[in-house]
């Protein structure tokens, strides 16, 4: 009887659909650990990327995209500049909205070329993966999870417009959870709480610009009408790269697991 259970200890087959940039750097540390534990890891990535490179710890499947390395580098540098540049709240929102549209178009083209690559999709269908690990800041990985009918595990810090709370029906009361750009703490006066609510309004416009094209792409690919929150709420586990040392306490759902500290695994950080 004991010998018949040995098969349960065999490593699984994991499909990884990452998001480029800093999102990938911490995920790569997790993949190295999974490989050491005997799991087979397959990473699907575009031919043009910032940091996603081949490794002996995973199999990489690459696909072509309609932009160059120079175009991607310029877009990411511009996004970083816009994100940290100061100014009045309304100016920052408009600037971030415009930049988000440009960056989203680039990522949407990446996702579209992945889903329309029939040869690669056929390979993924035949591989019989046990699960998908992805960063839901872009829902391309979850679209694949729905198509392949496999459970998904999310690895993230946060999603624009706090969609992780909407998708999981997790409370995020503006009475004590500070909103982006407010500069508030978790101890607010009544007027600050009112302002905290008002600062949430621009998120509706940002979300529409960033995620609505993915809803159309998913509906076309899956042959049924879906929204991005519909996709995200299918996740089995949310691995959250937050803690309550650098982040304010907030409600969490049972399948949200804090894994903060993984970002510190790299030993080659600059000063």
- 266 pLDDT band (50/70/90 cuts)? low
**Rg (alpha carbons) of the chain, rounded to whole number:** 20
Residue whose token pair is 């009112």? 194
Global pTM exceeds 0.75 = yes
Residue from 23, 29, 58 nearest 44 by CA:
58
Q: What pLDDT does residue 261 have? A: 67
- 10 pLDDT band (50/70/90 cuts)? low
Q: Quick: pLDDT tens for 214-248.
A: 999 999 999 999 999 999 999 999 999 887 777 77
Per the model's pLDDT, the better-predicted residue between 217 and 265 turns out to be 217
Homologous superfamily (CATH) for 13-68+110-258: Glycogen Phosphorylase B; (3.40.50.2000)
Q: Quick: pLDDT tens for 153-172.
A: 999 988 877 888 889 998 88
Q: Per-residue pLDDT averaged across 184-189, rounded?
A: 80
Residues forming beta bridges with residue 41, ordered by sequence position: 14
**pLDDT above 60 for 9:** no
Among residues of the chain, what percentage have pLDDT more than 70? 88
Per the model's pLDDT, the better-predicted residue between 153 and 29 turns out to be 153
Q: What pLDDT does residue 143 have? A: 97
For the chain, give every domain's residue range. 13-68+110-258
Contacts of 196 (CB under 8 A, 6+ apart): 174, 175, 178, 179, 182, 184, 188
Q: Quick: pLDDT tens for 36-87.
A: 999 999 999 999 988 899 999 999 999 999 888 888 878 777 777 776 777 7
Q: What pLDDT does residue 84 have? A: 72
Per the model's pLDDT, the better-predicted residue between 216 and 264 turns out to be 216
Q: Quick: pLDDT tens for 84-138.
A: 777 777 777 777 777 777 777 888 999 999 999 999 999 999 999 999 999 998 8
CA–CA separation, 197 and 199 (whole Å): 5
What backbone phi and psi angles, to 5 degrees, belong to 11? -65, 155
């Amino acid at each position: 009887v004991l010998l018949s259970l040995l098969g349960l200890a065999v490593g699984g087959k994991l499909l990884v659909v990452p998001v480029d940039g800093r999102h990938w750097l911490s995920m790569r540390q997790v993949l190295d650990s999974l490989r050491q534990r005997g799991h087979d890891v397959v990473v699907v990535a575009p031919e043009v990327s910032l940091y996603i490179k081949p490794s002996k710890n995973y199999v990489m499947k690459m696909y072509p995209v309609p932009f160059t390395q120079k175009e991607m580098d310029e877009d990411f540098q511009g996004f970083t500049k816009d994100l940290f540049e100061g100014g009045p709240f309304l100016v920052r929102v408009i600037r971030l909205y415009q930049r988000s549209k440009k960056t989203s178009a680039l990522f949407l083209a990446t996702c579209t070329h992945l889903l329309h690559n029939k040869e690669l999709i056929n390979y993924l269908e035949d591989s019989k993966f046990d699960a998908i690990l992805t960063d839901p800041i872009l829902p391309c990985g979850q679209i694949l999870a729905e198509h392949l009918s496999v459970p998904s595990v999310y690895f993230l810090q946060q999603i624009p417009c706090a969609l992780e709370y909407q998708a999981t029906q997790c409370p995020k009361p503006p009475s004590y959870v500070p909103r982006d750009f407010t500069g508030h703490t978790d101890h607010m006066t009544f007027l600050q709480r009112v302002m905290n609510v008002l600062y949430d309004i621009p998120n509706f416009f940002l979300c529409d610009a960033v995620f609505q094209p993915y809803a159309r792409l998913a509906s076309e690919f899956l042959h049924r009408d879906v929204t991005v929150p519909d996709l995200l709420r299918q996740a089995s586990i949310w691995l959250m790269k937050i803690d309550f040392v650098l982040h304010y306490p907030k409600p969490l759902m049972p399948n949200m697991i804090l894994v903060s500290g993984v970002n510190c695994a790299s030993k080659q950080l600059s000063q």
